[in-house]
Amino acid sequence: VVDPSQLGDILARIHRDLAPLTAKGKPATYIPELAKVDPSRFGIAVALIDGTVHTVGDAAEPFSIQSISKIFGLTLALGRVGEGLWARVGREPSGSRFNSIVQLEQEHGRPRNPFINAGAIVVTDVIAEGHEPRETLGELVTFVRFLSGAADIVIDSAVAASEKSTGHANFALAHFLKAHGNLTGAPERVLGVYFHQCALAMSCAQLARAGLFLASAGRNPVTRYTIVSPLRARRINALMMSCGLYDASGDFAFRVGLPAKSGVGGGILAIVPGVGTIAVWSPGLDATGSSLVGTLALEQLAAAMNWSVFSG
């Protein structure tokens, strides 16, 4: 493993080299509010388990974390129902697009994993059950603030509204889950929570800090609070490795070698077990729906620091 003192230089070099490529990706357009974001924004934050945070570029600017929020939703749901969650959601990569409904029909309404949309909707159903939507969202915001130590994290309600107005594919998934008996709440109610969860706005620095418990056996190394057991942290990392980038997860493991979760807002959060976390943001997406420059930045950073979990 490379000496962390070189991290600053390496981050600066990667940012300088890749910034010109931000124009090559295509920002998501299906959520109108996301399409307004400046595609040249590009930030990286690395949080190490010693508590230090190293940043470059637009690492302090909040962006829509979208599907990265599924990590936090999953953590809360596991806290609520434990391993019983797996009766309703699988743990296998889907081999399909994030919003595919094909497998859901073939597998009778049990989503392949908690990171494809259908699975994340079931996870949201779990944390929303028995609560008013605003209570659930309050709990979620409190949780990410607690994890990241940032009291100003909020949900961008314009993004949530934008998503709701065009979210017919997700409505289809929710009704399909309901038809198969795998949704407790009413579809529009569960999706209301889901769309707001996805609209969480966080900066790279905040995200990197929020994910640190996964790099540190379930305990926030800064606050010393235990978030989850070491076993659960390990398992969440495993799910991110297998399924975090949808049908590009295998390729990402091959190229980067770290557990990670991407969002259609252009963010990616990656975990380096025992070392720290990396959060990147660049709105332009590649053909698989993950940040084009963000993926390249993670690939270069992991290689430069020799941070792959697969290294000997």
Please select the residue that binds its own copies; options are 2, 87, 158, 179, rule is CB under 8 A.
179
Q: Which is nearer to its own copies, 91 or 131 (CB)?
A: 91
Q: Which is nearer to its own copies, 56 or 233 (CB)?
A: 233
Torsion 60-62-64-65 (CA) sign:
positive
Contacts of 132 (CB under 8 A, 6+ apart): none
Q: Which of residues 102-161 bind its own copies (CB under 8 A)?
A: 102-103, 105-106, 112-113
Cα(first)–Cα(last) distance of the chain, in Å?
10
Structure tokens that stand for 201 in this block: 């706005």
Contacts with its own copies in 182-221 (CB under 8 A)?
187, 214-218
Give 104 or 153: the residue with its C-beta nearer to its own copies: 104
Q: What is the C-alpha to C-alpha distance for residues 261 and 269, in angstroms, rounded to an integer?
A: 5
Of 40, 235, 286, 300, the one binding its own copies by CB under 8 A: 235
Residues 66-95 that bind its own copies (CB under 8 A): 90-95
The residues near 42 (Cβ < 8 Å, ≥ 6 apart) are 15, 18, 19, 22, 57, 58, 281, 282, 293
**Angle at 74 (CA atoms; ends 73, 78), nearest 5 degrees:** 120
Burial class (CB in 10 A: 0-12, 13-18, 19+), 221: middle
Pick between residue 110 and residue 112 the one whose CB is nearest to its own copies.
112
Length of the chain: 312
Nearer to its own copies, 40 or 103 (CB): 103
Q: Which is nearer to its own copies, 104 or 293 (CB)?
A: 104
Write out the E strands in 58-109: 63-64
- State the minimum distance, in angstroms, from the CB of residue 218 to its own copies: 8
Q: Which of 71, 205, 233, 296 binds its own copies (CB under 8 A)?
A: 233
- Per-residue binding string, its own copies, 252-271, x by CB under 8 A, is -xx--x-x------------
The catalytically annotated residue of 46, 53, 67, 148 is: 67
Q: Which of 3, 108, 224, 312 binds its own copies (CB under 8 A)?
A: 312
**Residue 231 token pair:** 């076993």
**Which residue among 37, 70, 275, 290 is the active-site one?**
70
User: H-helix or E-strand containing 102?
Assistant: helix 102-106
CA-to-CA dists, residue 118 to 22, 111, 149, 173, 245, angstroms = 30, 6, 30, 6, 15
Q: List the catalytic residue out of 122, 126, 144, 264.
A: 264
Q: Which residues bind its own copies (CB under 8 A)?
A: 49, 90-96, 100-103, 105-106, 112-113, 168-169, 171-176, 178-179, 187, 214-218, 230-231, 233-235, 237-239, 241-243, 247-251, 253-254, 257, 259, 273-274, 303, 308-312
Where in the sequence numbering do the catalytic residues fall? 67, 70, 194, 246, 264
